[in-house]
Amino acid sequence: MKAAVLRDFGRDLEIEDIAIADPGYREVLVRIMASGVCASDLSTIRGKTGSALPLVPGHEAAGVVERVGSGVSKVRPGDPVVLSWSPNCGHCFYCQDSHPTLCDVYGHAAAHGGLWDGTSRLGPPEAPIGHYSCVSSFAELAVVPETGCILLPPDIPFAVAALIGCAVTTGFGAVANDARVRPGDSVAVVGVGGVGINAIQAAALAGARTVIAVDTNPARAQMALASGATHFVDGAAPDLADQVRAWTNGRGVDHAIESTGHPAAMAGAYAMTRPAGSVVIVGIAPVGATLAIPAIGFPGSKKRILGSIYGGGVPEQDIHRILSLYRAGRLALDAQIGEQVPLAQVNDALRWLESGVPGRTILLPN
Q: List residues near Zn ion by CB under 5 A.
A: 38, 40, 60, 88-89, 92, 95, 103, 105, 166
Nearest distance from C-beta of residue 38 to Zn ion, angstroms: 3
Q: Phi and psi dihedrals of 146, rounded to 5? A: -55, -40
Q: Report the residue number, 293 or 341, with the smaller CB distance to Zn ion.
A: 341
Nearest distance from C-beta of residue 149 to Zn ion, angstroms: 16
Reduced to 3 DSSP states, what percent helix, strand and coil does the chain have, rounded to the nearest 5? 30, 25, 45
Going 19 to 89 to 50 to 309, the CA torsion angle's sign is: positive
Beta carbons of 309 and 99 less than 8 angstroms apart = no
Nearest distance from C-beta of residue 91 to Zn ion, angstroms: 6
Ramachandran region of residue 90, left (φ > 0), alpha (ψ -120 to 50) or beta? left
Nearest distance from C-beta of residue 90 to Zn ion, angstroms: 6
Beta carbons of 58 and 41 less than 8 angstroms apart = yes
Nearest distance from C-beta of residue 213 to Zn ion, angstroms: 20
Q: Report the residue number, 106 or 232, with the smaller CB distance to Zn ion.
A: 106
Nearest distance from C-beta of residue 83 to Zn ion, angstroms: 11
Omega before 54 within 30 of 0, i.e. cis: yes
Q: Report the residue number, 259 or 273, with the smaller CB distance to Zn ion.
A: 259
Q: Report the residue number, 168 or 323, with the smaller CB distance to Zn ion.
A: 168
Beta carbons of 158 and 171 less than 8 angstroms apart = no
In the three-class reduction of DSSP (H, G, I as helix; E, B as strand; rest coil), residue 72 is classed as coil
In the three-class reduction of DSSP (H, G, I as helix; E, B as strand; rest coil), residue 164 is classed as helix
Nearest distance from C-beta of residue 165 to Zn ion, angstroms: 8
Q: Report the residue number, 190 or 272, with the smaller CB distance to Zn ion.
A: 190
Q: Report the residue number, 92 or 152, with the smaller CB distance to Zn ion.
A: 92
The residue ranges of DSSP E strands in the chain, in sequence order, are 2-5, 14-17, 27-36, 60-68, 80-83, 141-145, 149-151, 186-190, 210-215, 231-234, 253-258, 273-281, 304-307, 337-342, 360-364
Q: Report the residue number, 57 or 277, with the smaller CB distance to Zn ion.
A: 57
Q: Phi and psi dihedrals of 52, rounded to 5? A: -75, 145
